[in-house]
Structure 1
Amino acid sequence: MALPLAAGLSPLTTPAAAQPEPAATAPAGATVQKAVWFTDRRVALWINSPSMGAPVQVQLLLARDWNTHPDARFPVLFMLDGLRATDDESGWTKEAGAADFFADKNVTVVLPVGGQSSFYSDWLQPNNGHNYKWETFLTKELPPLLESQWRATDVRGMEGLSMGGTAAMFLAARNPNFVKYAASYSGFLTTTTLGMPQAIQFAMRDAGGFDSTAMWGPPTSPEWEGHDPYALADKLKGISLYISSGSGAVGPFDQAAVIPGVSANFTGMGLEILSRLTSQNFVTKLGNLTIPAQVNYRPSGTHTWPYWDFEMRQSWPQAAAALGLDPGKASCQAGGSIAAVATANGWLGDCVTAEYQVNGGVAQDFRSGRVFYSPATGAHPVGGMIGGGYQAALGAVGLPTDDERPLPDGRGRFQAFQNGLLYWTPQTGAQVVRGAILDEWGRQGFERGPAGYPIAPEVKTPSRDGAVQAFENGPFYYSRKTGVHRLQGPIMGKYVELGYENSWLGFPAAEEVPLKDLGRFSGFEGGNIYWSPLSGAWAVRSGPIMDAWRDLGYENGKLGYPISDEFTVPGGFQQNFQAGFIVVRDGKPEVHGL
């Protein structure tokens, strides 16, 4: 496969996000551990939470104008999951169409991932292997980080389904001025009325084996009332409220049982009836307090995702108004070469922005990707994980020069850009390869060569002027003096042990070479690392020991392979070999056989 090779290498780093300089400071310890871009406007963050003492995954659906207005900041909408939240993805993207629906909305959607049976609250004690401190995380730790690194404003809304609907209401009430909008879809909006603590306990045991007493204590504990939307209703004044639930009867998205009007989803039917009853009680209290709310009691429907997807769409105009946004889609139209590409690639969907300047060309955002154009490169679509990889690289690879292509192994895909290539596989994600590292990787056969696929971005070496990029079968190191060379296996292990390029070895200066008895060696600026199955991996420094060993024939001579690193002895230093040792005193090497 002949691929274009990039020009000279300048170290590329992948920051946590495309963002302006921070405008606020997140609490100490609330940091982004890892960011994975799924598309150019959907990213998963693993955030170190000081309160939970563990990384928490949060996915962001970035605002429509994220790319077109790189200095703009956007309101945020938290979308909370249900009782059976999973650790891999929010139900709002897995079971509902949030990603597609919000693609043309100018709000950044925040999707906490995980938190099964948590009610997004701070628990009194750990339980079932989890230290839940969701309220602290969502209201204290996460917002400053979003504002400092992800161009968020302090204008917020919060909506959720089932357990998330309960939490949306009590979090809004417990945290004054935190949100301007709160919505409950099929939430349980009284938690302390007769039988509700027992019902919640049963549901939590069924969904993951959690104990509600670890959450809020026994039913008589004040923590139950302290998290009861009904008891906290008076604290919701001034917040735009939306409450909905079905009736539990068979609806358009339900399968009927043998009994007419009864759903085959008996659990979903019962939960929705409970939601309706508690929501009605809650709404009645809001009325008594003269707190307005938009209420949507559907005449049918059970406790299932299609109805919550419907409510997400139905409630959006109210959410948009509370957040100060136009609820409609921005006016846009594709033209010229971009229109031709969009027509030929139906997966892009409709346009969501007008054309805008980028990287010496123009781009236009569509519901499921982007199209880039310049007279020199032509028009090409970029989407999916490769689109995410492009966003993570902040456009450092220039404009696309070709469409995305499958690779011969049937496993990966790649796309060529002006200054490099983007490769993707399900196992490695999307990674940029460019410059001198790309040249050497290509010389060795690209993904079909010994290195395999890239598994991480190229990064600058921290203390010396160079770069490194990890591949499936070992990293490539680069410096201007030594060029590009790959390390692997036990030799790489020894290099790590000694301190990478910061040790006396410096950067790799030659490719790994086979030796006798299945041995291998790699050359470095300051010496070599040798390995064989019998002797292991050891480094020999350039200097008197190396010179004496060379004069004996290296590993082919009477001493054989090294079996230790160099170490100090009285009056000098020594290194041991299979059949003897070399000691240096007063700069003079002495060879000792066994």
Structure 2
Amino acid sequence: MAGVAFGSRGPRGWRNGRVARRAALLVTAVVIPLASGLSPISAPANAQPTVAPVAGPTVHKVVWLTDRRVALWVDSPSMATPVQVQLLLARDWNTHPDARFPALFMLDGLRATDDESGWTHEAGAVDFFADKNVTVVLPVGGQASFYSDWLQPDNGRNYKWETFLTKELPPLLESQWRTSDIRGIEGISMGGTAAMFLAGRNPNFAKYAGSYSGVLTTTTLGMPQAIQFALRDAGGFDSAAMWGPPGGPEWEGHDPYALADKLKGVSLYISSGNGSTGPFDQASGIPGVSTNYAGTGLEILSRLTSQNFVAKLGKLSIPAQVNYRPSGTHTWPYWDFEMRQSWPQAAAALGVDPNKLPCQAAGAIGALAGSSGWLGDCLTGEYQVAGGTAQDFKGGRVFYSPSEGAHPVAGMIGGGYQAALGPGGPLGLPTGDERGLPDGRGRMQTFQNGMLYWTPRTGAQVVRGAILDEWGRQGFETGPAGYPVAPEARTPTKDGVVQSFENGPFFYSARTGAHRVQGMILGKYAELGYENSQLGFPATEETPSKDFGRYSKFEGGNIYWSPLSGAWPVRSGPIMDMWSVLGYENGRLGYPTSDEFGIPGGYQQNFQTGYITVRDGKPEVHGI
């Protein structure tokens, strides 16, 4: 449905009157039978087949957004595509490095985007959960998916969300991100619907399930048509690709009402407004009706389907915490409120203390925190780290040692520091505070064994050792290399490292030191196989030559470039020796214009005004 249908990115309202009228008809079609006390048209759900585990999900990319917020890109075998999942790590993640923490899955609405969860974009999940001892799991994406396994791909998407969320992702989180097998799941609108049916369809997956403004009957008269309209409007999806034709078994199999008996033993939280103007709405000229017309109808729909669902739970003697709010429409401020209101129940089900851990900051760390209002409240007490102590705050971490003093590490640089294993990693402890750079583009912070640089385009990157020394000699970020764009990495088959910068990578080996390769010379070096080629590692920086040309020396030869000749290598050996006698590119042959290539009895290389052949180890110069 238009505007905020089934959980949008804010109260956008109706796009036009035609959509408003059509949605109103759909709401009426579903509301009238429910208001009359009629049950959904489907019978109780059949037993659902267990989805077989799918082996092989892997994390192929990790980006630390802060010291306790991380984005993972998981290669999903079932969906055959990378899926982004963001984690808000538990409060004690740093203080108890061997501990495991319950996981709380939080699902988005129908208009979920592929860049960020609504829980962090539209609601205050980051700040709210900062002092909570659960790891929050935020799937990113899933527009119009209902977080289910679709019968067939549609609109360019191969949705297998149920398999991903319940079979693929949990083992990966448990093995690599220290979650336990104690899980809860909650969601808004479409996500609230999914939270209930995922808990029902997957026994023992969740100890807690919460629905905020969810539609909790999907097979009621008129409901399949409303869902079809919503999917079309949200992105051109077809509900038949999701669950087949209305009345089919997949509709019944994903209906929370039909699955109610499967929720015994799950702690349930259900809430909805009533569609009338509430504290987060703007009143229209009609008494009790806000300007969020779409949100009004959708919240009425949520209320009525929730009432039917709750009535079914009552008949089954399944307890639930139910909050029917006296006002409110279908929009994020109300769901943010419900996230906070439901926390004590979620915490009890997950076995964690719902309250903030008492803590205070003292000494050098306390003095710094008191003068840095942006750090916010402390989350932990002071604890030992390699070389010193640390304390976690809402805004970041503060590290202290007698030799370096107290320094905060926060934001994306704090995330980069976590990615580099913090004080126990190669950087050691911070030696200064984060500061902006003169170019206005980036920020940096110094550490005992290197530096962290950040820009919005490049992210946070560590620079250290010989590469840092050479980069600094050239002028750091103001020099020809620009900012680092990737972490240092070992070269795969030779003993060295490489790090990419905006204008070319630095290569390092103990024999050659650190040197940058750039431009067309870098392109040729890549074509040859980088350091794995006969050229080996670079041995000097790029040097200007005649006719606006340039060259770089390598262990096993040089690469030359000029505007007229292009980039070509000349390997150490007979051809290089003869060319050097002639004066290299300044001699009569000029620049190389080809690679070496085989000829009968030997090999040859071409130059601008001639060529050199080698037979029986003897070079011979030929003019054109």
Q: TM-score, normalised by structure 1?
A: 0.95
Tell me which amino acid in the other structure corresponds to 2:243: W
Q: Structure 1 segments of 4 or more deviating over 3 A?
A: 26-29
Instruction: Give the corresponding residue for 1:88.
Output: 115
In 1: Cα distance, 2:313 partner to 2:535 partner? 72
**Residue 193 (1) aligns with residue 220 (2):** yes
Pairwise CA distance, 1:508: 0.5
**Residue 504 (1) aligns with residue 534 (2):** yes
In 2: Cα distance, 1:280 partner to 1:76 partner? 28
1:49-128 superposed matches below 5 A? 49-128=76-155
Pairwise CA distance, 1:440: 0.6
In 2: Cα distance, 1:581 partner to 1:296 partner? 86
Instruction: Give the corresponding residue for 1:536.
Output: 566
> Please, what is the CA RMSD of the aligned residues?
1.0
- Per-residue CA deviations over 1:516-546 (Å, capped at 9, x if unaligned) read 1221111111111111122111111100011
Identify which of 575, 579, 590 aligns with 1:560: 590
Contact 1:27 1:144 in 2 (8 A): no
Pairwise CA distance, 1:569: 2.0
- Per-residue CA deviations over 1:3-60 (Å, capped at 9, x if unaligned) read xxxxxxxxxxxxxxxxxxxxxxx96541112111110000111111111111111100
Contact 2:55 2:168 in 1 (8 A): no
1:44-443 superposed matches below 5 A? 44-395=71-422, 396=425, 397-443=427-473
Contact 2:543 2:550 in 1 (8 A): yes
Identify which of 517, 530, 550 aligns with 1:487: 517
Tell me which amino acid in the other structure corresponds to 1:403: D
Instruction: Give the corresponding residue for 1:6.
Output: none
Structure 1 residues 498 and 27: alpha-carbon distance in aligned structure 2, compared to 1, 3 A threshold: farther
Tell me which amino acid in the other structure corresponds to 2:109: G
* SS of equivalent residue, structure 1 residue 66: coil
In 2: Cα distance, 1:213 partner to 1:370 partner? 50
Name whichever of 213-222 and 297-306 sits farther off: 213-222
Contact 2:503 2:518 in 1 (8 A): yes
Tell me which amino acid in the other structure corresponds to 1:222: P
Contact 2:117 2:140 in 1 (8 A): yes
Give identity over the alignment, percent: 81
Instruction: Give the corresponding residue for 2:506.
Output: 476
Tell me which amino acid in the other structure corresponds to 1:554: Y
Pairwise CA distance, 1:314: 0.5
Tell me which amino acid in the other structure corresponds to 1:123: W
In 1: Cα distance, 2:582 partner to 2:318 partner? 92
In 2: Cα distance, 1:562 partner to 1:51 partner? 52
Give unmatched runs, 5+ long, in structure 1: 1-25
Tell me which amino acid in the other structure corresponds to 1:575: Q
Tell me which amino acid in the other structure corresponds to 1:111: L
**Residue 513 (1) aligns with residue 578 (2):** no
In 1: Cα distance, 2:588 partner to 2:76 partner? 58
In 1: Cα distance, 2:177 partner to 2:409 partner? 22
Name whichever of 559-568 and 191-200 sits farther off: 559-568
- Per-residue CA deviations over 1:197-221 (Å, capped at 9, x if unaligned) read 1111111111122111111111122
Pairwise CA distance, 1:368: 1.4
- Per-residue CA deviations over 1:47-81 (Å, capped at 9, x if unaligned) read 11111111111100001111111111111000000
* SS of equivalent residue, structure 2 residue 126: helix
Tell me which amino acid in the other structure corresponds to 1:157: G
Tell me which amino acid in the other structure corresponds to 1:304: T
Tell me which amino acid in the other structure corresponds to 1:557: G
Tell me which amino acid in the other structure corresponds to 1:277: L
Pairwise CA distance, 1:87: 1.0
Contact 2:58 2:74 in 1 (8 A): yes
In 2: Cα distance, 1:27 partner to 1:354 partner? 41
Instruction: Give the corresponding residue for 1:18.
Output: none
Structure 1 residues 88 and 330: alpha-carbon distance in aligned structure 2, compared to 1, 3 A threshold: same
In 1: Cα distance, 2:185 partner to 2:574 partner? 70
In 2: Cα distance, 1:135 partner to 1:557 partner? 70
In 1: Cα distance, 2:244 partner to 2:580 partner? 74
Identify which of 483, 487, 507 aligns with 1:457: 487
In 1: Cα distance, 2:241 partner to 2:551 partner? 57
Tell me which amino acid in the other structure corresponds to 2:129: F
In 1: Cα distance, 2:529 partner to 2:443 partner? 35
Instruction: Give the corresponding residue for 1:5.
Output: none
The number of equivalent residue pairs is: 569
Pairwise CA distance, 1:570: 2.1
